[in-house]
Amino acid sequence: MRITQVIATSVILGLLWWHSDPSTLKGLEDQAGLLFFIAVFWGFFPVFTAIFTFPQERAMLNKERAVDMYKLSAYFLARTTSDLPLDLFLPIIFMVIVYFMAGLKATATHFFLSMLTVFLSIIAAQGLGLAIGATLLDIKKATTLASVTVMTFMLAGGFFVKSVPPFISWLRYLSFNYHTYRLLLKVQYDPVPDILTTTRHMDSGGTEVAALVAMVIGYRVLAYLSLRRAKALGS
């Protein structure tokens, strides 16, 4: 079902952005919209897959932990890595279809850097889903909180609102959509196209990579600590 959904979405996107032309300002704006959708889709999709991981296994985990069948750390590591091959296989299919149908930069370097950016976004988004699920251990509550969080991250992602009031501008730095979108733009448009009157080169994207890596680690640490707390409370 997930494979069908991903393939169908990628084909529709490829047709809508068929051979978009980055040599014009309109074409660049169209491609920027596509890149933002990619950042949002591969932020949204993994969160709402990962939030079910721990709530669905809560009863089983409590029983097996009660008789010390395995360490919590071993369970956590196995559970959070077992689905990674499939989770990273789907975006490969998606990107192969969308990338070349939409006319993005058709070089191996640009394609694989875009692919790595999406991978990093997925693993960060999964971490958020795991953290929410492990903290609440209730599917309805976790889904509600995830919906609000993902919507906030999407709106703060830098596409819909360019000028954000200073008192709330810090939200964008917590958004993996924001960092993923900026990285995808830097991969596609460095050197900067001639039609844009700005600096010729962008920075390397190290800040965005560091932020996403911090999210990958931080969310998983939070998820693990939440499970330990639930165990200590006897949940």
pLDDT tens digit string along 20-64? 988 888 889 999 999 999 999 999 989 999 999 998 887 777 776
- Give the separation between CA 118 and CA 83, rounded to whole angstroms: 16
pLDDT band at 232 (very low <50, low <70, confident <90, very high): low
- Give the separation between CA 215 and CA 218, rounded to whole angstroms: 5
pLDDT surpasses 70 at 124 = yes
CA distances from 86 to 2, 19, 31, 74 (A): 10, 29, 27, 21
Summarised one tens digit per residue, pLDDT across range 131-140 is 999 999 999 9
Does residue 179 contact residue 43 with C-beta atoms inside 8 Å?
no
State the DSSP code for 83: T
Mean of all residue pLDDT scores within the chain: 89
Q: Which two tokens stand for residue 128?
A: 């958020």
Does residue 180 contact residue 91 with C-beta atoms inside 8 Å?
no
State the DSSP code for 192: P
Q: Select the more confidently predicted residue: 107 or 195.
A: 107
pLDDT at residue 94, as a whole number: 97
- The domain ranges of the chain are 2-233
pLDDT band at 67 (very low <50, low <70, confident <90, very high): low
Q: What is the CA radius of gyration of the chain?
A: 19
pLDDT surpasses 60 at 88 = yes
State pTM to two decimals.
0.89
SS3 call for 233:
helix
Q: Which two tokens stand for residue 92?
A: 């490969």
pLDDT at residue 33, as a whole number: 95
Other CB atoms within a 10 A radius of the CB of residue 65 amount to: 16
